[in-house]
Structure 1
Amino acid sequence: MLSDVVALMRTGRPLSARVTWRAPWGIAIPARPGSAAFQVVLRGSCWLVPPSGDPVPLNVGDVVFLPHGHGYGLTDSPDRPLEEASCELHEGGALFSTPTIGGTGAETVTIYGSYRMAPGRVHPILGALPELIHLPTTLGRHPELRAAVELLAGEIATRRPGADTVVTSLLDMLQLYILRAWLETVPGMCEHTGWAAALSDPAISQALDAIHRDPAHRWTVASLAARAGLSRAGFARRFTEFVGQPPLTYLTWWRLATAARLLRESDMPVAEVARQVGYGSEFAFGNAFKREYGIAPGRYHRLACDEAKSELVGVRLGA
């Protein structure tokens, strides 16, 4: 189910960079509303200056994830004044880059990644995440995450045929492993409400998996409760407590969010999109989609195509 969330949340091209920092250095990365970013330390050490709270020391292998697009700082010393990050980091919006920034002193190497989220429709699991997730390197912990980092670092450092496809897939994989690793580190998940508890609860996770695997199915509270192995009333109460929405409200949200992704990423006719997400008629789907997104699905698709073309031209021109 987490893979569905990752596929749903990203829109457009991600950005990534393997950055070599040489002391002295200190940058302020501005807020990017509607985006999420991560930093991984490959060599050396540095400090992350969060939007609030004390600076966080980072060492080789540490992963930091900032899911809400808030600004932050990265520096070789917590006392150093921060300079605004330049466009040098992104090389005009390219998928990945390998800049060297700073002076001539001690070297630190990081991987930076950033995703743009589907505007206004971020999955609620991200809203439940803290401002900053720090996954310190620990021997034997999260081996999949470490392997994805190494693969990504190699692809960015050595540009080979097909690298664009590989890097994009690895960024999605890294995002998935970060979320999985965080969920494994949340203490007492089953004792609390919220998405961490929902994903760790066997009954509710069964129902969520059913919705995600087959959104077109004519699910009812009773059929989802049967999947969860709970009574209808007990399931509805438990689902709402954990997820924050009643089961059928979440089902509708997921159907329309899935439809929006299909409209953004494919040339599938609107009628087929409607069928894929469980609507019996294009008219009913159009009304539901417009209520949720404020725009007809056909126009949403055209605007998404125009935006994608503009983004691609910007990358080609280095805009």
Structure 2
Amino acid sequence: MISEVIGTIHAGSAHARRITESGAWGARYPAFVGVGFHVVLGGSGWLITRDGETTALRAGDIVLAPYGSEHGLSHAPGALATLPVAPMGAEPPSRGPYDFDFLCGCYRVDHGQIHRFLRELPDVVAISPDYERHPELRALTDLLGDDVSQARPGAGATRPALVDLILVHALRQWQEQSGDEAWPTITDPGVAAALRAIHGGLDEQWTVRRLSEIAGMSRTTFTRRFTALVGKPPMTYLIGRRLMYGAGLLRATPVPLATIARQVGYSSGFAFASAFRREYGVSPGRFRQDMRSARYA
């Protein structure tokens, strides 16, 4: 499930920066469409949510905004509305003495939708990872910190990959912290078999009948169970999965549109483009151009 959730955000653009603060400081992060995180590298501070709840933060903690809800960070508890809006941009962190050092990372999803399982999580959550059990998370935050602290060739490729991996680890930590029920798994063997077939063969000409045969059910029973467990009917899920994968190819590769269309089960580039526009609100060409512009901004 986490892999699927991460796959949906690839319709957006990855951003990251490192910020240092000193003295009396505070910043409010407005709501946006996407998923974001902060990783505290050093010092201590407070997370302030839009409902007024405050949580103490220390080095190593991760703040996760699963669907971009408004929140704030500050040197002390207070009212969110009193905090100034955080400046956006890629300016490097201050080199002078500081009391609080943290990373910000996010995917801004200008096209498409946030996965429903992300929307079922709390607005903003604070996670205290076990770095002894997961030393790779420490290595990833160090790599991202270095990546955003100085301009280096290839940042357009490394940054999305590092943001992806930190998000995966943050979601895993949240799952461990909150229990397995936070991320339901598909336990029905028939529906699970149909999902494996879809994921392993997006270019196949699937029908409800073919998938129900793989699941070992009647079409009516299969459709009812699939919809109840996955959250959408089989063919709607298939279309979304195809377009999500196609969006990833558009974002990350120069592969021609007709080739992408065939790889995700469409008979022509025109058919793929029509379905893509309905899902994301823009043409594949415009989407690719927007992603390229964001990548090198």
2:69–2:124 contact (8 Å) kept in structure 1? no
Contact map agreement 1:144 1:177 (CA 8 A) in 2: no
Distance in 1 of aligned mates of 2:173 and 2:223: 28
8 Å CA contact 1:10, 1:118 repeated in 2:
no
Q: Distance in 2 between matches of 1:291 and 1:22?
A: 47
Distance in 1 (CA, whole Å) between partners of 2:150 and 2:143 is 11
- Is the Cα–Cα contact under 8 Å of residues 264 and 301 in structure 1 kept in the other structure? no
- In the alignment, structure 1 residue 60 sits paired with structure 2 residue 54: no
2:87 corresponds to which residue?
Answer: 86
CA shift, 1:135, in A, is: 1.4
Q: Which moved more, 1:23-32 or 1:202-211?
A: 202-211
Please give the alpha-carbon distance, in whole angstroms, between the structure 1 residues aligned to 2:28 and 2:152: 31
Measured in 2, the distance between the counterparts of 1:2 and 1:57 equals: 27
Q: Aligned with 2:260: secondary structure?
A: helix
Identity of aligned residues (%): 36
Contact 2:20 2:94 in 1 (8 A): yes
RMSD over aligned Cα atoms: 3.3
Q: Give the 3-state SS of the residue equivalent to 2:185 in structure 1.
A: helix
Q: 2:93 aligns with which of 86, 89, 98?
A: 98
Q: Which residue of 1 aligns with 2:2?
A: 2
The reply to whether residue 171 of structure 1 matches residue 177 of structure 2 is no
Letter in 2 for 1:239: F
- State yes or no: 1:307 paired with 2:294: no
Deviates most, 136-145 or 74-83: 136-145
SS across alignment from 1:79? coil
Q: CA deviation at 1:116?
A: 1.1
Query: 1:301, CA displacement in angstroms?
Result: 2.8
TM-score by length of 1: 0.76
Structure 1 segments unaligned to the other structure (5+ residues): 92-96, 190-194
Cα distance in 2, alignment partners of residues 163 and 289 from structure 1: 28
TM-score, structure 2 normalization: 0.81
Measure the CA separation in 2 of the matches of 1:72 and 1:37.
11
Q: Is the aligned partner of 1:279 residue 2:266?
A: yes
Question: C-alpha deviations, 1:214-258, integer Å up to 9, x for none?
Answer: 211233446545666x63465543321122112222112211233
* 1:218–1:291 Cα change, 3 Å: same
- The residue matched to 1:217 in structure 2 has which SS? coil
Corresponding residue of 1:192: none
CA contact (8 A) 2:48 2:78 kept: no
- Give 1:142-181 correspondences, 5 Å limit: 142-157=134-149, 162-181=154-173
1:40-96 per-position Cα deviation (integer Å, ceiling 9, x unaligned): 111111101112241111112111110222221100100374222224x533xxxxx
For residue 151 of structure 1, report the CA deviation from its aligned partner: 2.8
Deviations 1:157-177 (A, max 9, x none): 465554553333211111122
Distance 2:48 2:130 in 1: 22
* Residues 263, 301 of structure 1: 8 Å contact kept: yes
Alignment of 1:228-307 (within 5 A): 231-232=217-218, 235-282=222-269, 284-293=271-280, 300-307=283-290
Deviation at 1:278, TM superposition (A): 1.0
Does the CA contact (< 8 Å) of 2:111 and 2:280 recur in 1?
A: no
The residue that corresponds to 2:20 in the other structure is 20
Classify the secondary structure of the residue corresponding to 1:130.
Answer: coil
Q: Does the CA contact (< 8 Å) of 2:13 and 2:109 recur in 1?
A: no
Aligned counterpart, 1:131: 123
Unaligned runs of 5+ in 2: none
What is the CA–CA distance in structure 2 between the aligned matches of 1:210 and 1:306, rounded to whole Å?
A: 32
Between the aligned partners of 1:99 and 1:199, the Cα distance in structure 2 is 47
Local SS of the residue matching 1:231: coil
Asked if 1:117 is matched to 2:103, the reply is no
